[in-house]
Structure 1
Amino acid sequence: MFELNFAATRVESILDFIVLVLPGQLLVTLWSCYVQTFIGLTVIILLLVVLLTHRHPSFTWTKFGERKCSPQLAFISNYRAYTLIYTAISILAVDFPAYPRRLCKAETYGTGLMDTGVGLFIIANAVVSQEARLGYVPNLSLMKTLKSSSVLFALGCLRLIMTRTVDYHEHVTEYGVHWNFFFTLAAVKIVGNLISLITTSVSWGGLSLLMGVGHQLMLSLGGSKYIIHGSDGQGGRHGLLDANREGILSALGYISLYFFGIEIGRHIFAHKRNTMSDMLSLLKPLSVLQIILWVGVLFTDTHVEPVSRRFANLSYILWILALSSMLLLQLLIVDIVTEAMQFSKDQKFHLEKRKLIPTLLDAVNYNGLAYFLFSNILTGVVNLCLSTIYQSTFISFLSISLYMITLQCIVVVLYTSKIAIKI
């Protein structure tokens, strides 16, 4: 029995890698010129599946709408896992020549695939945060907030020490001389938890808008110029604040982004989800939100300030929110189509037998921050072992594949062993 279960797990892991990970690797390396073709084919296949399902003699929308749905919001879990997986792919792939330069982070203004990582990561945490779950009483205190945030601060210090020790190449204009992503996460967590401690009736969406507009006003009145040129006007970095001006000032924008993510999560958790009709009705608000956000992106990018991850300005906040709502909407559609296919196959399909989240995605969600940490560590190891920038396309793709397989093995073993690394 053990051998059968092990063999089944191994086969499932191989399929998960081929279906969930490999396409992402190909789209940022060998297939980078065919992204639009890939998306087009995917949409066509999805439409064909919907058409065939709708024409199935056992399928009616009325009966399908009455079908009970899983209380687990699979599309949110899948969104969070995909964000981590594609972030892991990119942070190593960018070091190889096979990764197109147009997908790299923009220096100041502009957008690239890697500019989405930090923003999507923050939204992924915000939508499932304690503050987003209606009816959930946050078990928070000032000491718990400081303790949990101190772990993130310690990880930031550890990353700083390790990168300096091995002389790992970093762009100072990303966060500054000493600041890094973990310090930004700590700042976001502290502010969010402190507001929850002060009041439980806060309008997270209104607070997000207030902070986002205020942050943009600060940037427009000289903050952007200061980030680019520094206090001496020559790009110098004198003193701790000046040396880390990107990370410190952009944290305000990321906090605003986090608050809006909480608001999205609150609306999703507040929405009824007893039947598939309830899930179908969730398509409308997500679609409307997406349209509003994309209009906001076009307006702010043209008339206020172009999108800048370096500043985390209002255009960037709206851009990340638009992308997030679009991804959530697409994954919700996939979940609905999957449910419809199962319904057509067997109208007596039992709820407990359904599995909308693949094991790999479950495993990544189970140890989300640990997965991100392991990806950073393995990225450093690969860079120490290889001169990545001089590798051929074949060696590049092989190295990324082995790295992602190793990451998958680690989190799947931890998940099947029910070992959760709490950070």
Structure 2
Amino acid sequence: MDKSYKARKEEFVSNLSGGNIPEIIAVTLVAPAAVLLWSALQSRKSFFTPYRFPSLVVDFLLNVASVLFATTLYSSAPLLLLLFIITPAVVICLGPKRNPAQKAKPPAKLSSAADGPGDGKKNVSNALDPFPIRPFLTAYRGGMMITTCLAILAVDFTVFPRRFAKVENWGTSLMDIGVGSFVFSGGVVSARSVLKEQLSKSSSAGSLPKRLVASIRHSIPLLILGLIRLYSVKGLDYAEHVTEYGVHWNFFFTLGLMPPFVEIFHSLTAIIPSYEALSLLIVIGYQATLESTDLKRYILVSPRGPSLLSKNREGVFSFLGYLAIFLAGRATGLQAIPRRTSSSKTPSQARKSLLIRLASWSFIWTILFVLNSSYIFGIGAGIPVSRRLANMPYVLWVAAFNTWQLLLLCLVETFIFPSVHKATDKSSEAERSAFATSRVMSAFNKNGLAIFLIANLLTGGVNLGLNTLDASKEVAMAVLIVYAGLVTGVALALDVWNVKLRL
């Protein structure tokens, strides 16, 4: 890469101050708004059943292209794009319902002494899963992956506003919330293994040393990917933003080191049975250290010394913040995933309780964030948000943002597809959940990390083969649309072939 062009590339993503949170919220609301319109089309028109080519095109336009346009051409008018999406959704929802794919089914027959052996076995196998696949969680994870994959390439073009790119030291931006959301969503899905362990009440996972060994096995592929990225960037003389994570550190190292530390804190739940409390303890301790010692100055302004720690101090110390985010995500997953129905609690009551819990934690995280980051009428700590430090305001912002997103998507599912949480047997629930889930969203959710890796490879290829800085708006959008189509195509192909890439 030409040295002058490399310098321009690095300058293009350096020393940025971000934008304001209301604008970020307006842009990110496009994703749940697109889910709302998709849901309206499906519930009222069965538009995506059967899933043919026109269905695929509309699915792509709603759940992928709309996010791309929100962060590029409509970046200065996200509310207008929201209006374009929400208006037809409301009109369709107010219209007549035509839903042949979700016919009512009789309740599953309960096994009794009169049943034969085969009947009892069939009923047990068709019993409702205590930890069902939630369509709103699929939409949340899929939408987060789509936004992340689009942003990592779009940021290299001028059509992507600089206020959306990662902030240098202090401030908020779309990509800053995206990084934290990636970690938070990983915590959400990790809750499923904890719930299954709690249900079985077994010690099959073994002692802490055995769990650490298992977690390290999971970490090795991610650490290898981190090394590959490191040597690729250095070997190809690729433009890099050193103050993002450090000279050698990258996001794959952060992800790779997460599992062992999560297992350590999982063992602490025997003493502190609350992941929210563990998350807050970590970030409070970290923030107190930043404020009471020279650590903050060391991370932000000290010279790059000869030691590896000094060269990679952003990545090393921000890991504490990302660990707190992951644990907050796991806490949310423990609330969102379980069915929680019983003889005394109907599916509707259980769903109402879920909405109340999500709303409560959305407000709690938001209030904590406002008190931590603001200083109004003599109240609040007034600490600015810093993704580079992954400090306490950043952690609280990420937790608040993601719980609000989950709440919105849960509300969409609850009111447009009420039959999903009211299913009486496993097979009907699977059918209804599939009906209420976008094929594109499901594909991105199933192989999220693998697709993220593929998106990174495509991003590197585009940057090596094209002068993104001087590309016109038309060229940039053409490249981004083709790229979005390729990534979506890969995701759908893996889904159709039932390939599950575990990294």
Please classify the TM superposition score into its range, dividing by the shorter chain length.
Answer: 0.7 to 0.9
> For 1:384-403, what aligned pairs fall within 5 Å after superposition?
384-403=464-483
Unmatched segments (≥5 aa) in structure 2 = 1-49, 98-103, 108-126, 375-380, 422-427
Q: Contact between 2:335 and 2:354, CA under 8 Å: does it hold in 1?
A: no
Match of 1:28 among 50, 71, 74: 71
**Aligned-residue CA RMSD (Å):** 2.8
Q: What residue number does 2:287 align with?
A: 216
Match of 1:265 among 329, 333, 345: 333
Q: What residue number does 1:102 align with?
A: 163
Listed one character per residue, the Cα deviations across residues 78-123 of structure 1 (whole Å, up to 9, x for unaligned) are 1111111100000000000100111111110100100012210111
Amino acid at match of 1:147: R
> For 1:117-132, what aligned pairs fall within 5 Å after superposition?
117-129=178-190, 130-131=193-194
Q: Contact between 2:279 and 2:328, CA under 8 Å: does it hold in 1?
A: yes
Q: Contact between 1:131 and 1:196, CA under 8 Å: does it hold in 2?
A: no
Q: What residue number does 1:315 align with?
A: 393
Distance 1:259 1:342, change over 3 A: closer
Q: Contact between 1:280 and 1:336, CA under 8 Å: does it hold in 2?
A: no
Within the alignment, does 1:75 sit opposite 2:136 as a pair?
A: yes
Q: Contact between 1:106 and 1:115, CA under 8 Å: does it hold in 2?
A: yes
TM-fit CA distance, 1:10: 3.7
Q: Distance in 2 between matches of 1:31 and 1:142?
A: 46
Q: Contact between 1:215 and 1:252, CA under 8 Å: does it hold in 2?
A: yes
Q: Distance in 1 between matches of 2:226 and 2:494?
A: 24
Q: Distance in 1 between matches of 2:62 and 2:242?
A: 36
Number of equivalenced pairs: 398
Q: Distance in 2 between matches of 1:40 and 1:285?
A: 29
TM-fit CA distance, 1:175: 0.2
Match of 1:237 among 294, 299, 305: 305
Q: Which entry has the higher C-alpha Rg, 1 or 2?
A: 2
Q: Distance in 1 between matches of 2:430 and 2:254?
A: 40
Q: Distance in 1 between matches of 2:223 and 2:358?
A: 34
Q: Contact between 1:283 and 1:329, CA under 8 Å: does it hold in 2?
A: yes
Q: What residue number does 1:334 align with?
A: 412
> For 1:14-413, what aligned pairs fall within 5 Å after superposition?
14-40=57-83, 42=85, 52=94, 71-129=132-190, 130-131=193-194, 134-135=198-199, 139=205, 141-196=211-266, 202-221=273-292, 222-230=294-302, 235-270=303-338, 272=340, 275-302=347-374, 303-340=381-418, 351-354=429-432, 355-413=435-493
Structure number with higher relative contact order (C-alpha < 8 Å, ≥ 6 residues apart): 1
Listed one character per residue, the Cα deviations across residues 17-37 of structure 1 (whole Å, up to 9, x for unaligned) are 111101011111111111123
Q: What residue number does 1:347 align with?
A: none
Distance 1:85 1:199, change over 3 A: same
Identity of aligned residues (%): 32
Q: Contact between 2:246 and 2:314, CA under 8 Å: does it hold in 1?
A: yes
Q: TM-score w.r.t. structure 2 length?
A: 0.73
Listed one character per residue, the Cα deviations across residues 369-406 of structure 1 (whole Å, up to 9, x for unaligned) are 10000000000011111001110111101101111111
TM-fit CA distance, 1:271: 5.1
Q: Contact between 1:95 and 1:388, CA under 8 Å: does it hold in 2?
A: yes
Q: Distance in 1 between matches of 2:189 and 2:419?
A: 28
Q: Contact between 1:96 and 1:388, CA under 8 Å: does it hold in 2?
A: yes
Unmatched segments (≥5 aa) in structure 1 = 1-6, 57-62, 344-349
Amino acid at match of 1:144: A
Q: Contact between 1:366 and 1:415, CA under 8 Å: does it hold in 2?
A: yes
Give the match's secondary structure for 1:115. Answer: helix
Q: Contact between 2:280 and 2:324, CA under 8 Å: does it hold in 1?
A: yes
Listed one character per residue, the Cα deviations across residues 280-334 of structure 1 (whole Å, up to 9, x for unaligned) are 3322221121122112111111224211100000100000001001100111111
Q: TM-score w.r.t. structure 1 length?
A: 0.86
Q: Contact between 2:187 and 2:330, CA under 8 Å: does it hold in 1?
A: yes
Listed one character per residue, the Cα deviations across residues 197-252 of structure 1 (whole Å, up to 9, x for unaligned) are 6765643222111111001011112221111112xxxx333310000000000001
Q: What residue number does 2:12 align with?
A: none
Within the alignment, does 1:417 sit opposite 2:497 as a pair?
A: yes
Distance 1:47 1:299, change over 3 A: farther
Q: Contact between 2:369 and 2:396, CA under 8 Å: does it hold in 1?
A: yes
Give the match's secondary structure for 1:194. Answer: helix
Q: Contact between 2:358 and 2:407, CA under 8 Å: does it hold in 1?
A: yes
Deviates more, 1:384-393 or 1:29-38: 29-38
